[in-house]
Structure 1
Amino acid sequence: MSIRRTILIIDDDADSREVVREALEGKQFDFLEAKTGEEAIELFTAHDIDVVTCDIMLPGADGIEVLRHIKEVKSDAQVIMLTGLNAVDTAVEAMRLGALDYLTKPIRLKELRVVIDRAIQQKELTEERDEWRRQVARYSGRLLGKSPAMKRIFHIIEQAAPTRSTVLLTGETGTGKDQVAQEIHEQSRRSNKPLIKVDCASLPESLLESELFGHVRGAFTGAFKDRKGRFELADGGTLFLNEIGEMSAGAQQRLLRILQDGELERVGSNTTIHVDVRVLAATNKDLQQCIAENKFREDLYYRLRVVQIHLAPLRERREDIPILAQSFLERYSEETGKELQQFDHDVIEFFLSYPWPGNVRELQHAVEHAAIFAQGRAVTLHNLPEEITRMPVSSVSRAQDSAQIIEKYENSIVIPIGSTLEDAELEIIRLTLEKVGGNKEEAARVLGLSRSSLYRRLPKLAQNDES
């Protein structure tokens, strides 16, 4: 366990409370104790509790009332009910209210440790899910990943976005520089103002300055009227200059002046115009090499690189590939009206072995293609575009490197969005039983359940399978 967890022990018997403490000796736990239901509710409300063990028979509010209150305050709280009574009705009621498990006294220490470990694992899964949701909500689903490289980018965005500093985004084509620029703008104080995007590589040199800075009538052949440039259109907001390494020397000089003084003149005019624009720039070139070759101004480079964000190629952050692929699959599953849920093993293995020269953009297009042609609920290797599946990859060495990622994906269970907690639990039990060949004792061990807890759930599983 990487962080300390807090356990609330609720029992009016001091010896019983000591038994719980003894069972968890040597683990990274802090303990809080309550002798009554009222005291327990007060402690739970005042502290950040990870796991609760609660006796059914308490002075004042009984354990069922405490459980009901805890679940109302925090629906994902992990609560283990303890009782000296072998009362089926009480156990059913506790499980219906959301208890993680129900153990009878005298407590077997080994069994309690297993259930506590499962409670902590469930807590960690909940925290990971909540972090995922925060990430999706914060970054609008555009930026996803759990690699150290992506975590660093999230941190830089959070720190840099509220400022007005220029940001230089570097990285190969398709790594997501456009999405990062979008997120910086969305999280800035300028988010209610326009974000204007300019692809410097797509504009001829003769038109780039006019496009950026505007022109007046008669400035050149075809200039029949005054026209605002992108800087004026972005006034008060953000201007994103993509592929800035393609900018001409004249445009670089004009840009430097705007960054220094906030002033520009339209092409063909001597009238100075003041603008308030935050500049974000991106390139897939090595600008320092361009400086050495006298193709890019060094003073402009340092003006642009107040904050730099480098987006690593996808092949260098392979642990993000399953997350990104699953996100794209959900999107295109909805768009195609299919119920696609997962990728076959060999697809994930291929994804982790393939070098992705087109980076995230290529992965997205591959998943979109697969979603169009997939049948059933899983994407197979045959659904992927031929142009990538026939490309030779160094699969042996990469497969060895990625074995841990593949194993983690394969051993995961996909629960469709909209499933109830009960349906999710029954699906996990069903698939675990399949994995261990129907051995109920082994399934209980893998799931961290007592045998009695597993057997209580089997009738519902049978009913589910029949329906």
Structure 2
Amino acid sequence: MTMLASAPTLTGRILVVDDNARARQSMCDVLRHAGNDVQMCASAIEALQKLPSQEFDLILTDLQMPGMDGLQFIRALQDRKIDSQVVMVTAFASVSSAVEAMRHGALDYLEKPFDADQLEQLVQRALARGRRGAAHSAVTSSSQPWHSMMIGTSSAMQRLRSQIAVAAPTGETVLISGESGTGKELVARCVHAASGRATKALVSLNCPALSPQLMESELFGHERGAFTSADAPRVGRFELADGGTILLDEITEIELPLQAKLLRVLQEKSFERVGSSETLEVDVRVIATTNREIRQEVVAGRFRQDLFYRLAVVPLVVPALRDRREDVPLLVEHFLGAAAVRLERSPITVDRAASDLLCSYHWPGNVRELENLMTRASILATSEKLSADDLRSWLLEPEAMHSAGSGNSSGESELQAGMKLEDMERRLIEATLDHYEGHRARAAQALGIGIRTLSNKLRQYGYAPRARSFVRAA
């Protein structure tokens, strides 16, 4: 197969809010050099005056500012329902200020002094989260009733709601599995909201987004001088989540050495910051998600068996959208309504033929693909009602993929009746990659899945990463 191109760097519209002119300009220079559209304000008041007329993907705000400080600014953003990702920048970091900022909508915090790489990495994570349509923060409020957060009346969804209602109050560790795009993070938020810890923090960490070195620091924190770029101490996610819940998203991406340290936290409720010998105790409920078959990862030696048993005390499985097709009309209505609110226009609808087409589609990207499709349709629609013809060109049908891969003389793309879903998915992915000449970003977009998910699938199929690309393993 053709070598796959590396993922492009994300860029976006960013607002920097800092009363220190030098710090403000320095952040702007770094972010503009990375290709972002950056504006800046010298105060929170000035920013609030700017925001009604302009939209930003990310807001970077200082904590200590005269007049209205960073925490007050974040609360004001929440009150005004401004859904930009927010990152707190501070030289006065503490557990209380970080948790308070994140509770009111901040995605993360960055401690001064920091270098350009740290800033760019954090901005990339924030923009990636925004691209996934996540308007909620890393610490999620439980103000919305958890039942209404899950859309669907199918038997599969009713069974999942019942399982959450039983498991959530126990406080036990929960392992949520399911394909990418099914809504595992939403299920985790529901578990937290239905638990006795609902008024405490839900702190999330996207495991694949970080290197093994940064992962340990993010989980447990570090002391100043613990490693080359550790210019200041940092509070880890477990410490931030004390009394609440920590969500470890795609936990199978954690390397084996760090899995052992995570096991200790689950067993003993204690840990040490990187570079410290002081043992800290925490009261944290752990929720983990994975899009892999974790038992196979254990058999292959990529995931510790003892950690699996510790995590899977309460296993929850999120059904694929193709296994609850009767929920598609409800989801379509919800996503079209949400898109209309964002676009400030009347919601469009779908006709009967379009609804039947959506209900019969196989949805390789699951609910995330459906949401993206409804957003795209809302933006590009030329009438108030979508027809099947309007949608058909955006759906990736197996027959279309067979045509796209017809140049393959080996016949690997041919689909046959009785073929297993796993085999069909693999051939669909491979044919899509061939069609887009190995370009991961374009193939992932066509499939309605993320680049990370595509990379994980390729590893499962035996494609080895090489120089930031993937090639078929020998």
What TM-score, normalized by structure 2, do the two folds share? 0.52
Contact 1:147 1:319 in 2 (8 A): yes
| Paired residue secondary structure (1:360) | helix
- Paired with 1:322 and 1:348, the residues of 2 have a C-alpha distance of 7
- Paired with 1:354 and 1:287, the residues of 2 have a C-alpha distance of 27
1:172 and 2:184 matched: no
Counterpart of 1:195 in structure 2: which amino acid?
L
Aligned to 1:289: 296
- Paired with 2:341 and 2:233, the residues of 1 have a C-alpha distance of 46
Matches within 5 A, 1:357-376: 357-376=364-383
Aligned to 2:470: none
| Paired residue secondary structure (2:171) | coil
Matches within 5 A, 1:67-146: 138-139=145-146, 141-146=148-153
Larger Rg: 1
1:191 and 2:209 matched: no
The Cα shift of 1:246 comes to: 0.6
Counterpart of 1:274 in structure 2: which amino acid?
E
Counterpart of 2:212 in structure 1: which amino acid?
E
Q: What does the per-residue CA deviation read over 1:195-252, in whole Å, with 9 as the maximum and x for residues that have no partner?
A: 1110111111121111111111221111122211110011111100001001111211
Superposed CA RMSD in Å reads 2.3
1:307 and 2:314 matched: yes
1:331 and 2:338 matched: yes
- Paired with 1:207 and 1:165, the residues of 2 have a C-alpha distance of 27
- Paired with 1:277 and 1:385, the residues of 2 have a C-alpha distance of 47
Deviates more, 1:266-275 or 1:332-341: 332-341
The Cα shift of 1:140 comes to: 6.5
Contact 2:147 2:161 in 1 (8 A): no
Aligned to 1:121: none
- Paired with 1:344 and 1:387, the residues of 2 have a C-alpha distance of 16
User: Residues 286 and 389 from structure 1, CA distance in 2 versus in 1: closer, same or farther, beyond 3 angstroms?
Assistant: closer
Contact 1:210 1:229 in 2 (8 A): yes
Counterpart of 2:191 in structure 1: which amino acid?
I
The Cα shift of 1:165 comes to: 0.5
Aligned to 1:268: 275
Q: What does the per-residue CA deviation read over 1:428-450, in whole Å, with 9 as the maximum and x for residues that have no partner?
A: xxxxxxxxxxxxxxxxxxxxxxx
User: Residues 385 and 186 from structure 1, CA distance in 2 versus in 1: closer, same or farther, beyond 3 angstroms?
Assistant: farther
Counterpart of 1:165 in structure 2: which amino acid?
E
The Cα shift of 1:352 comes to: 1.7
| Paired residue secondary structure (2:287) | strand
The Cα shift of 1:161 comes to: 1.5
Q: 1:259 aligned to 266, 272, 277, which one?
A: 266
User: Residues 345 and 391 from structure 1, CA distance in 2 versus in 1: closer, same or farther, beyond 3 angstroms?
Assistant: farther
Aligned to 1:128: none
Gaps of 5+ in 2: 1-142, 402-415, 418-474
The Cα shift of 1:341 comes to: 5.5
Identify which of structures 1 and 2 has the higher relative contact order when contacts are C-alpha pairs closer than 8 Å and 6+ apart. Answer: 2
Deviates more, 1:213-222 or 1:372-381: 372-381
- Paired with 1:297 and 1:306, the residues of 2 have a C-alpha distance of 15
Q: 2:385 aligned to 366, 378, 383, which one?
A: 378
Q: 1:321 aligned to 308, 315, 328, which one?
A: 328
- Paired with 2:308 and 2:186, the residues of 1 have a C-alpha distance of 22
| Paired residue secondary structure (2:185) | helix
Contact 1:161 1:184 in 2 (8 A): yes
Q: Percent identity?
A: 43
Contact 1:217 1:223 in 2 (8 A): yes
Q: What does the per-residue CA deviation read over 1:20-57, in whole Å, with 9 as the maximum and x for residues that have no partner?
A: xxxxxxxxxxxxxxxxxxxxxxxxxxxxxxxxxxxxxx
Q: Whose helix fraction is larger, Structure 1's or Structure 2's?
A: 1
The Cα shift of 1:391 comes to: 6.2
Matches within 5 A, 1:338-353: 338-340=345-347, 342-353=349-360
Aligned to 1:4: none
User: Residues 274 and 389 from structure 1, CA distance in 2 versus in 1: closer, same or farther, beyond 3 angstroms?
Assistant: closer
Contact 2:373 2:394 in 1 (8 A): no
- Paired with 1:379 and 1:339, the residues of 2 have a C-alpha distance of 14
Q: What does the per-residue CA deviation read over 1:286-318, in whole Å, with 9 as the maximum and x for residues that have no partner?
A: 111111111111111011111111011111111
Q: 2:166 aligned to 159, 168, 182, which one?
A: 159
- Paired with 2:366 and 2:255, the residues of 1 have a C-alpha distance of 28
- Paired with 1:351 and 1:141, the residues of 2 have a C-alpha distance of 23
User: Residues 365 and 199 from structure 1, CA distance in 2 versus in 1: closer, same or farther, beyond 3 angstroms?
Assistant: same
The Cα shift of 1:382 comes to: 4.5
Q: 2:250 aligned to 225, 243, 260, which one?
A: 243
User: Residues 338 and 381 from structure 1, CA distance in 2 versus in 1: closer, same or farther, beyond 3 angstroms?
Assistant: farther
The Cα shift of 1:170 comes to: 0.2
Aligned to 1:232: 239
- Paired with 1:237 and 1:201, the residues of 2 have a C-alpha distance of 23
- Paired with 1:284 and 1:207, the residues of 2 have a C-alpha distance of 22
- Paired with 1:230 and 1:253, the residues of 2 have a C-alpha distance of 17
Aligned to 2:287: 280
User: Residues 386 and 168 from structure 1, CA distance in 2 versus in 1: closer, same or farther, beyond 3 angstroms?
Assistant: same
The Cα shift of 1:177 comes to: 0.2
Count of matched residue pairs: 261
